[in-house]
Chain A
Amino acid sequence: MKIKHSLFTRRQFLNGLFGGWITALLVTFVYPVIKFIFPPYKEPDEVILPFSDFEGMAPGTVKNYAWGGKPGILKKNEDGSYIAFVGVCTHLDCNVSYLPDQKKFFCACHEGWYDEFGINIGGPPPSPLRRLFVEIVPPDLIIKREGVK
């Protein structure tokens, strides 16, 4: 079927073409700006620590290690096994500390509490501390992210 009248004028067509072209051009400028603002970030898959540094820990005590840019906390349980956490509160990202006499993790920012296994038991934290896997392959102590083989 042939339409008798044009759907838009020549001026509208040219304005649309010109506007579209300007928009496309701007998008090509905006994309690299956004890419630039967000630097690449990768959480480590695993950290390898010398086991000798942690071997002598008394049961019920903790030691810190670096998990990328975050503090990691390695705890030796009463039965001699090890348990590793990302030492960051699940509420609003503050670094937590371990209180050995109370057997609890504590976040000072908004008074969040976790038990000795990192389970949230008081205050605003919505979920347990993040757990990491511990593997001991002497002379190394390997701390891994979930799902990393």
Chain B
Amino acid sequence: MNIKKLGAGFQAWLDDRFGLSGIAQFLKEKPVPQHKHSIWYYTGSAILIFFTIQIITGFMLILYYRPTLEEANASVARVMTEVPLGWIIRSVHSWSATFMIAFVFVHLISIWVTKSYREPREITWMSGVLLLACSLFFGFTGYLLPWDDLSLSATKVGTDIPRSIPVVGLWVTKLLRGSEDVTGDTLTRFFGIHVCILPIFLVLLLAIHIYLIQKKGMSVPVEAETRGEDVRTIPFWPNFVFREMVVWLVLVGVLFSVAVFLPPSLDKPADLMAAAPEGVKPEWYFLFLFQTLKIVPPKILFVNGDTVAVLLMLVAGVLFFLLPIIDNKPLERKGKIITVLAYALVAYALIMSVWSLL
């Protein structure tokens, strides 16, 4: 009996137990439409690639990281200076987070403007919005872990924002901080959220998201669909996956190049009693919120300005989550206005972010 036969026998044995050939057949038959907007189909798997890199580098960093007030900063310093290749592992983890979130934004906007969330893909969009929330929360909790001056101030501000929400706000702040103030408990809590709670939620949501994409098939642009055109397709496996692999290779190359030449900094350990340093800034994807909070006046019609801003953001978040239900006539005037809103939102975020850097 040669190896090939043995392998085939083992495959048949596994197939008999798992029924994998059905999945393989499904992937071979799954059509991927080819049209002028097909390029956006590649953004989903790009996010997955960066997420996979996050998991692997995260597993590595956790071998040395210590989530306590006394040791956190020093343990990151040790990773950067003593652990063999530690600096690049941390750099890749930090940059991959940036790349992942950047691609999440591109993915989101592409789906918004091509209206891929329209019936019957509403829940795919909603699970995507929750995945976005998870990703941003990942970034927010991860930012604190090096426990330096900048990360402490960013966390103080970020965890204080919910406080302006009436009734439940203070409890949300306390829940995040583990106290009224940011303390060592906050660090340990953020670590637990970052490495334990968020991964479970994200993977669960991702499973729902990907299942729904398989169940409902790839969306085609609304114009092609209404004209009833036959859209040319290619099989998902192997044609589409091989094309995706080319994209992954390029992205990983860019990621590692950036990570080698621009490793993240590590400031001196955070001091809970020290004044906030000049030039406090959150991660780039929160800059537009940061700038918004900076320019909101202290009082708007006798109400605390921040309360107004935070409540508006909450309402915007809910509307955003319900977008597929609101945008139920994609080809009519309402649908076109909603598309323009997407561009307006991008413009707003860009202007605010650039302003915050001036």
Contacts and interface: CB of A to CB of B under 8 A. Distances in A.
B178 to A, nearest CB: 6
B157 interface: yes
Given A69-B183, A93-B156, A126 B276 contact: no
Given A38-B174, A87-B275, A124-B296, A94 B161 contact: no
Contact of B298 (A66, A70, A109, A120): A120
A84 interface: no
Kindly list the 10 A-B residue pairs having the minimum CB-CB distance in the complex, ordered from nearest.
Answer: A97-B275, A93-B160, A94-B276, A126-B298, A71-B273, A108-B276, A110-B294, A92-B157, A92-B160, A69-B181
Contact of B275 (A91, A108, A124): A108
Given A109-B153, A111-B294, A125-B298, A95 B305 contact: no
A7 interface: no
A43 B180 contact: yes
A43 B181 CA distance: 10
Name the residue in A92, A125, A127 with the highest tally of chain B Cβ atoms < 10 Å from its Cβ: A92
Contacts of A125: 298
B148 interface: no
A124 B273 contact: no
B219 to A, nearest CB: 39
A109 B306 contact: no
11 contacts: A37-B178, A39-B178, A64-B273, A97-B275, A107-B276, A108-B280, A109-B157, A110-B293, A110-B294, A123-B294, A127-B298
A92 B293 contact: yes
Contacts of A71: 272-275
Contacts of B280: 94, 108-109
Given A87-B275, A108-B277, A108-B280, A94 B153 contact: yes
Nearest to B307: A126
Interface of A: 37-39, 41, 43, 64, 66, 68-71, 87, 89, 91-97, 107-111, 120, 123-127
A64 B271 CA distance: 13
B306 A126 contact: yes
A108 B290 CA distance: 13
A110 B153 CA distance: 11
B253 interface: no
B126 to A, nearest CB: 26
Contacts of A69: 179, 181, 183, 272
Contacts of B257: none
B275 A96 contact: yes
Contacts of B306: 91-92, 124, 126
A107 B157 CA distance: 12
Interface string B279-313: 11000000000100111111100001110000000
Given A39-B185, A95-B274, A108 B298 contact: no
A92 B161 contact: yes
A124 B293 contact: yes
B298 A124 contact: yes
Contact of A126 (B273, B275, B279, B299): B299
A29 B306 CA distance: 36
B175 interface: yes
Contacts of B276: 89, 94-97, 107-109
Interface in B85-117: none
B278 interface: yes
A91 B157 CA distance: 9
Contacts of B157: 92-94, 109-110
A107 B294 CA distance: 11
Nearest to B181: A69
A97 B52 CA distance: 42
A96 B156 CA distance: 12
Given A43-B180, A95-B274, A108-B276, A124 B297 contact: yes
Nearest to A110: B294
A123 B293 CA distance: 10
B132 to A, nearest CB: 23
A41 B186 CA distance: 13
Contacts of A110: 157, 290, 293-294
A93 B293 CA distance: 13
A64 B159 CA distance: 24
A45 to B, nearest CB: 15
Contacts of B183: 69
A91 B297 CA distance: 11
